[in-house]
Homo-oligomer: A and B are copies of this chain.
Amino acid sequence: MIKIVSYKDNKFILDEILNNTTQFEYDEVNKAVIEILKNIKENGDKAVLEYNEKFDGVKLNSLQVTKQEIDEAYFDNISLELRNSLELAHKKIKEFHEKQKRNSFIDTNTPNKIVGQLINPIEKVGIYVPGGTASYPSTVLMNAVPAKIAGCKEIIMVTPPGKNGKVPANILAAAKIAGIDKIFKVGGAQAIGALSFGTETIPNVYKIVGPGNIYVAMAKKMVYGQIDIDMIAGPSEVLIIADKTANYRYLAADLLSQAEHDKFATSILVTTSEELAKKVQKEIEIQLNQLPRKEIAETSINNQGRIIIVNDIKDACYIANKIAPEHLELAVKNPFEILGYIKNAGAIFMGEYSPEPLGDYMAGPNHTLPTSGTAKFSSPLGVDDFIKKSSIIYYDKNALKELKNDIINIATSEGLDAHANSIKIRFEDK
């Protein structure tokens, strides 16, 4: 049963939740991942195929998914309803992310100088799509669409094959809808290695995005710096702020929709109403019994789940900002009234008819969101993650002359004489 605690009586509840964070040591996983990365770097495809056999239980002849496999998935192997729903999701995700597109700018206000900022897509990116217990076509769309909009030239998808050597049809159909045609059957740390170093058949990329298990996460962290990554995703979380007007059945359903993801997922309700708290607690038990993924959801709810009772909504906002949840639902009468108090959250769901699954699939904003409190410093995945900027500086002789002495003053103060000289030499009589 989900625990009900009072924030007033026990301010430490917040510390307890906040300290429930990951550590920076995983010696075992670390060693395994280093070994895998080295092997991929040295042996390329051969190593990839061996890991397929070892970890995925399948001996493949070819790593790349064929055009035929992709087409069959889209046209034959998923229902028309699902295909249409994925097409609609794609349309709405695209519409939203197009608004994130940015332009280069230049400043020509002073006639003899120009400064500016160029925006260019990252040329080659990789998308990791997890396999295993479930297959998530929505992940394909959420990662591929912003990359496409940014203008990335090469988008490489990797995903582990099943024991039958195939990739689930809904994954391939989503890839086709998103316009991804280079897909390779490789998962785990070995997929990250292949995308980082390149193999005979898998191209190397400059950035890898997409969620994965602890091996994928550690491998991403290890190659980070040489190439870029999106983020180290932790277990999923929802925090719901509810006043007494909220519907307890909806709240229970929403808390459970988070909990079913993962035993380590976190569902927290913060409410001003003790009555509501008790109703939600009871309702969770009822709804749990109807869920196929009951065991996962129950473990999550019992271990990480909390209902926190607060005196007023501002305390609830304070707690939300400290926890910085991945998903924040504002189940209050006038959600826009308190939006200004919210500083740290991945995605904010406003009011009774904006439950988290709406954002997971269809509303348009990305569902790849900062977890484990990282919304304090990071953002939903978006077009920004697939572009990079370059500064431009153009000065003519007179413009440089005006700043000559100031540049030399600072360079000299920093002990960098060759810097000073690079300016001086341009104004010497020769």
Q: Decide: A226 and B21 in contact? CB cutoff 8 A.
A: yes
Report which of B84, B384, B393 forms a contact with A359, defined as CB distance below 8 A.
B393
**With A136-B414, A394-B354, A430-B249 given, is the CB distance from A107 to B99 under 8 Å?**
yes
Interface presence of A50 (CB below 8 A): no
* Residue count of chain A within 8 Å CB distance of chain B: 134
Say yes or no: A376 contacts B420, CB within 8 Å. Answer: no
Given A347-B393, A358-B423, also A82-B410 (CB < 8 A):
yes
- Given A82-B410, A207-B377, residue A249 in contact with residue B425 (CB < 8 A): yes
The closest CB in chain B to the CB of A409 belongs to: B85
Q: At the interface, yes or no: A338 with Cβ under 8 Å from chain B?
A: no
Within 27-49 of A, Cβ neighbours of B (below 8 Å) are at: 34, 37
How many monomers of this protein are in the complex?
2
Instruction: Name the interface residues of A77-92: CB closer than 8 Å to any CB of B.
Output: 78-79, 81-82, 84-86, 88-89
Q: Is A413 an interface residue (CB 8 A)?
A: yes
Q: Which residue, A89, A225, A297, A370, has most C-beta atoms of chain B within 10 A?
A: A225
Residue of B nearest to A392 (CB): B348
> Main SS of the interface on chain A?
mixed
Interfacial residues of chain A within 353-405, with CB under 8 A of chain B in the complex: 353-366, 369-370, 374-380, 382, 384, 388-397, 399-400, 403, 405
Q: In the complex, which residues of chain B have a beta carbon less than 8 angstroms from the beta carbon of A82?
A: 409-410, 413
Q: How far is the CB of A172 from chain B (nearest CB, A)?
A: 13
Cβ–Cβ contact A410 & B24, under 8 A: no
Q: Is the CB of A406 within 8 A of B354?
A: no
Find residues 100-138 in chain A having any chain B CB closer than 8 Å to their own CB: 100, 105, 107, 113-115, 117-118, 120, 122-123, 133-138
Kindly supply a per-residue 1/0 record for chain A positions 205-216, scoring 1 wherever the CB is within 8 Å of any chain B CB and 0 otherwise. Answer: 011000000000
- Taken together as a complex, chains A and B put the C-alpha atoms of A21 and B226 apart, in Å, by 8
| Cβ-based interface call for A68 (8 A) | no
| Minimum C-beta distance from A341 to chain B (A) | 11
